[in-house]
Structure 1
Amino acid sequence: MINFSLQGKVALVTGAAYGIGMAIAEAYAEAGAKIAFNCRSQHHLDQAMADYKAKGIEALGYICDVTKEDDVKKMVADIEQKFGTIDILVNNAGIIKRIPMTEMSAEEFRQVIDIDLTAPFIVSKAVIPGMIKKGHGKIINICSMMSELGRETVSAYAAAKGGLKMLTRNICSEYGEYNIQCNGIGPGYIATPQTAPLRERQADGSRHPFDQFIVSKTPAGRWGTVEDLQGPAVFLASDASDFVNGHILYVDGGILAYIGKQPK
């Protein structure tokens, strides 16, 4: 029988105070996992704890900067003390800075790399020893279509997400023998509150130009939803994916498979 259950598993989802991270955490809780998450401010933590409680989820929440190794070690140690060894890690925390490359400072570039690439290295490094000792583990990195494609103004983000794809494959290569599977999820364009302005109808009733662009490039003909990511995330965290390793699962409605329509 295929086992998609996460009953009794301990899952740490970084940056899961809202959006994609919270949706994944919610799916894991529904599948039976215990949930821990982090964010970077008291305000976001308080709101997230209230949201999890409203969903009937008893989550452990932490204020933790995942770019700081000592802070991450303390968080992981506390989770292990209260819940047990972390079975599932989702490296979801990330940022994007949309700045033309020639106008972007090296400091701004490094900040994106630090959060989107170095942090997954730090958090993975912190949980892998426990996974080795327990004899299994699942690490899921939230990659991006920019792990494969370039686009104007996102040089740092694309560099980080391309690097995260290869970090995923290297963790698989280095720790697969310990029954640790490391895979990635590459979301397409997802409808969230952050992208809502890009999907608002114009005064004349037409679509926003960026909305038109995305829908035209997506064979599914729509934006994705956070719910579209929940099934893939549960699959990659469950025993059903025990022989899937080093893979990036693109949940993009087909964008990466599509060359686009011929201009009329």
Structure 2
Amino acid sequence: MYGAGGSLGGAVASALAAAGAHVFLTGHHLTSVQKTAAGIESAGGKVSVHQVDARNARSVNDHIQSVLDTAGSVDISFNAIGWQDTQDIPLTEMSLEDFLRPVSIALETQFLTATAAARVMKTQQSGVILTLTATPGGIGYANVGGFGPACNAVEGFSRNLAAESGPYGIRIVNIRSAGSPDSRIFKEAIAAGGEAVEQFIQKMKNDTMLKALPLMEDIANTAVFLASAMAGKITGVTIDVTAGTTSALNYKVTNVAFLKKETP
């Protein structure tokens, strides 16, 4: 588990541990990861913590070998590290550096961690690799900068790796989430922005078919299901857990340039 110190990564790790998995949590910095581990241990789960740079091939490969030496197999791989994306700036006003950063980080870390796991899983003839994207992976979405293209790229990578790995008994599935209002980033935004942010989140809910946003528990439960034998014939696809987000235009685009033009 990469990025286990984040709120969503921690939720998925806790759910997998509750389902009986020995979870190996990693992070570039360990303070938040150790907090996740402490919660798992207090609930009776089995957990190990390692400092890993999920964007460094040697660090990732050394960790995979460590897991293999300890547990005897690598059964599940999940990567939830942040992509350092810049949002809320139109593409026409964004720098190339800010646009490319999340695309580069997302593909770099997903490639390194997923292929490292797949090499071990090919020998085992079994294993599940889960990737994670968000709503912009499935629809046109304004003002998300390079995050949307990064989501599309990860979903494409997941499909292609699944096609290559399937004959070895490896399943690879992407989870597409919407923002979870109980996640740390949403809570911090509400604390900083108050009522304005709460209104924004309500607009996000209104843009879904269910008029709700998925909680972290919903994403975690999906991950547990996909990693289980119950999902044994699911691979090479994206499972949408966005509560049916539609166009997103009703809250992301507030001014349309051509409507502002004066009539000649």
TM-score range, shorter chain: 0.7 to 0.9
Query: Aligned partners of 1:219, 1:150: CA distance in 2, in Å?
Result: 17
**Cα contact 1:200–1:208 (8 A) shared by 2:** no
**Cα contact 2:6–2:81 (8 A) shared by 1:** no
In terms of mean alpha carbon deviation, does 75-84 or 51-60 score higher? 51-60
From 155, 161, 174, the counterpart of 1:184: 174
Letter in 2 for 1:150: G
From 50, 75, 82, the counterpart of 1:94: 82
Question: Are 2:203 and 1:213 equivalent residues in the alignment?
Answer: yes
Structure 2, unaligned stretches of length 5 or more?
Answer: 251-264
**Cα contact 2:175–2:239 (8 A) shared by 1:** yes
In terms of mean alpha carbon deviation, does 96-105 or 67-76 score higher? 96-105
Partner of 1:195: 186
**Cα contact 2:24–2:48 (8 A) shared by 1:** yes
Query: Aligned partners of 2:90, 2:216: CA distance in 1, in Å?
Result: 28
In terms of mean alpha carbon deviation, does 14-23 or 70-79 score higher? 14-23
Partner of 2:228: 238
- 4+ residue segments displaced more than 6 Å: 200-203, 257-260
Letter in 2 for 1:151: Y
Q: What is the TM-score of this pair, normalised by structure 2? A: 0.84
**Cα contact 2:2–2:78 (8 A) shared by 1:** yes
Structure 1, unaligned stretches of length 5 or more?
Answer: 1-12
Post-superposition CA distance 1:142-163 (Å, at most 9, x none): 1211112233332211111100
Residues 167-182 of structure 1 correspond to what in structure 2 (within 5 A)? 167-182=157-172
Query: Aligned partners of 2:177, 2:163: CA distance in 1, in Å?
Result: 23
**Cα contact 1:37–1:60 (8 A) shared by 2:** yes
Query: Aligned partners of 2:63, 2:198: CA distance in 1, in Å?
Result: 42
Query: Aligned partners of 2:212, 2:191: CA distance in 1, in Å?
Result: 14
Compute the displacement of 1:85 (Å).
Answer: 1.6
CA separation of 1:230 and 1:42: change in aligned 2, threshold 3 A? closer
Question: Are 2:216 and 1:226 equivalent residues in the alignment?
Answer: yes
Partner of 1:134: 124
Q: What is the TM-score of this pair, normalised by structure 1? A: 0.84
Partner of 2:30: 42
Query: Aligned partners of 2:191, 2:32: CA distance in 1, in Å?
Result: 26
Query: Aligned partners of 1:154, 1:55: CA distance in 2, in Å?
Result: 37
Query: Aligned partners of 1:66, 1:221: CA distance in 2, in Å?
Result: 35
CA separation of 1:105 and 1:38: change in aligned 2, threshold 3 A? farther
Aligned to 1:60, the other structure's residue is in SS state: strand
Partner of 2:137: 147
Aligned to 1:138, the other structure's residue is in SS state: strand
CA separation of 1:119 and 1:101: change in aligned 2, threshold 3 A? same
Partner of 1:120: 110
CA separation of 1:27 and 1:46: change in aligned 2, threshold 3 A? closer
CA separation of 1:207 and 1:194: change in aligned 2, threshold 3 A? closer
Partner of 2:96: 106
Query: Aligned partners of 1:202, 1:125: CA distance in 2, in Å?
Result: 40
**Cα contact 2:141–2:247 (8 A) shared by 1:** no
Query: Aligned partners of 2:96, 2:55: CA distance in 1, in Å?
Result: 17
Compute the displacement of 1:15 (Å).
Answer: 0.5
Letter in 1 for 2:186: T
Compute the displacement of 1:175 (Å).
Answer: 1.1
Partner of 1:166: 156
Partner of 1:67: 55
Compute the displacement of 1:92 (Å).
Answer: 1.8
CA separation of 1:107 and 1:93: change in aligned 2, threshold 3 A? same
